[in-house]
Homo-oligomer: A and B are copies of this chain.
Amino acid sequence: MASLSAHSQKHKVCVVGSGNWGTTIAKVVAENCKEHNDIFEEEVQMWVFEEQYQIPETSKHYDASNELTSKPQKLTSLINTFHENVKYLPNIALPHNIVANPDLLDAVKGATILVFNLPHQFIAKTCDTLRGNIVPFARGISCVKGVDVSESGCELFSESIGEKLGIYCGALSGANIATEVALEKWSETTASHVDLTNLVAESIKNASGKIQHLKSLPSEYPALHARNMKKLFHRPYFHVRIVSDVAGVSLGGALKNVVALGAGWVDGLGWGDNAKAAVMRVGIMEEVRFGKMFFADTVRAESFTEESCGVADMITSCGSGRNFRCAKMSAAEGKPISEIEKRELNGQQLQGTGTAYEVNAFLKMQGKEKEFPLFTAVYNILEGKYQAKDIPDLIEQKD
């Protein structure tokens, strides 16, 4: 173990978040920390937002004579006892080297790698708590899907995290339905990571063009180049490709939901697979254009056209994703998508419609609506200005 002898310290990993996808990623990471224990400490901390949870009587863990399962208990106690996230990822055995921890600051103590995987509305508050209380040379990676688009700008979650905490933060995204990954059904993913091994000036320009000041990783630790970052996430059932383009990785996961509405509509009209594939192709090209226009310094077309976070995630979302399914029903039944959403999603909301409005507000502000005919068409159809059948006309390139 050459790398062990060369470094006196190993990386300590904390997963910040423990929902369905957060717990799945903690499982992946913990398996790898055990396998590559020359680079990583085996124990993986997982921060859990504490809550009381009553194991249902149908659970295999339920035992009326045991107070732990017959009465509501702390979720962390249940996870650490049963090595299963009984609430958010039931029936999936977790590696025993995952430690569920309800104390955020205790969980990140000494962690040199922070994996963020929590609902985006909790990012800001969580970072406020963490600020100044983490290892200053830590590296982060955000598994939070999407970007924060508004009239005023287009912010990557990974960069918001990185800026707030003063650390480098990459992103991980791909065609990854959490429950399938948890069941170890094979998939691919894309992780963006910039090799900061030879960081000299202690500052880098991020994807939005801002200068960020960073601390070098002390030489006691194994370098966090692409190969070692890959070792943290790559499994036989979860193939990782590392790229340098954080904006591309983040944008695909958000914009695909807008495209999935368009693909669902044309499919719902009975136009068949040709038309659906055409919407997806045009959608990928608008993702590329969006990236190049607003993150010109770092974005690479290939992140959208060649990587899991781009084309593959688009395929998955337009195959079984709920934006696609609801849009398809909407066109087939001739009903507004909001009505389908209410009927099908038990009060949950489609991400695609929200993102379509946010993206449109941003593009309007930038005076760029016309350069994104598909994104604009989806918005206008949601607004009732056009119908799904107008899509070919609205995106036709006549010359």
Binding site for B on A (CB under 8 A): 175-177, 180-181, 185-188, 227, 230, 236-237, 239, 241, 266, 270-278, 280-282, 284-285, 288, 302, 305-308, 311-313, 315-316, 319-320, 391-393, 396-397, 399
Contact = CB atoms under 8 A, between A and B. Distances in A.
Nearest to A319: B273
A273 B181 CA distance: 11
The 6 A-B pairs with the shortest beta carbon distances in the complex, nearest first, are A187-B274, A305-B305, A277-B312, A277-B315, A175-B277, A186-B392
B186 A278 contact: yes
A281 B319 contact: no
Contact of A396 (B239, B277, B312): B239
A137 to B, nearest CB: 26
A336 to B, nearest CB: 22
In the complex, the count of this chain's copies comes to 2
Given A186-B392, A315-B277, A396-B239, A285 B306 contact: yes
Specify which of A177, A185, A285 lies most central, judged by the most chain B CB atoms within 10 Å of its CB.
A185
B306 A175 contact: no
A274 B176 contact: yes
B278 A306 contact: no
A316 B274 contact: yes
13 contacts: A180-B272, A186-B271, A186-B274, A187-B274, A187-B278, A188-B274, A239-B278, A239-B396, A277-B313, A281-B311, A288-B306, A315-B315, A319-B319
Contacts of A277: 175, 187-188, 308, 311-313, 315-316, 319
Chain A interface, DSSP helix/strand/loop, else mixed: helix
B397 A281 contact: no
A311 B287 CA distance: 15
A319 B276 contact: yes
A165 B284 CA distance: 39
A285 B281 CA distance: 16
A399 B274 CA distance: 37
A271 B316 CA distance: 12
A332 to B, nearest CB: 15
Given A273-B320, A274-B187, A280 B227 contact: no
A188 B278 contact: yes
Nearest to A398: B234
B392 A239 contact: yes
Contacts of A280: 311-312, 315
Contacts of A311: 277, 280-281, 284, 305, 311
A270 B175 CA distance: 16
A306 B185 CA distance: 28
Contacts of A285: 306
Given A188-B281, A281-B312, A284-B306, A274 B239 contact: no
B271 A180 contact: yes
Contacts of A236: 392-393, 396
A277 B313 CA distance: 7
A173 to B, nearest CB: 13
A185 B275 contact: yes
A21 to B, nearest CB: 13
Contacts of A276: 315-316, 319
Contacts of A312: 274, 277-278, 280-281
Contacts of A188: 274, 277-278, 281-282
A186 B266 contact: yes
A230 B396 CA distance: 13
A392 B275 CA distance: 30
B274 A181 contact: yes
A307 B280 CA distance: 11
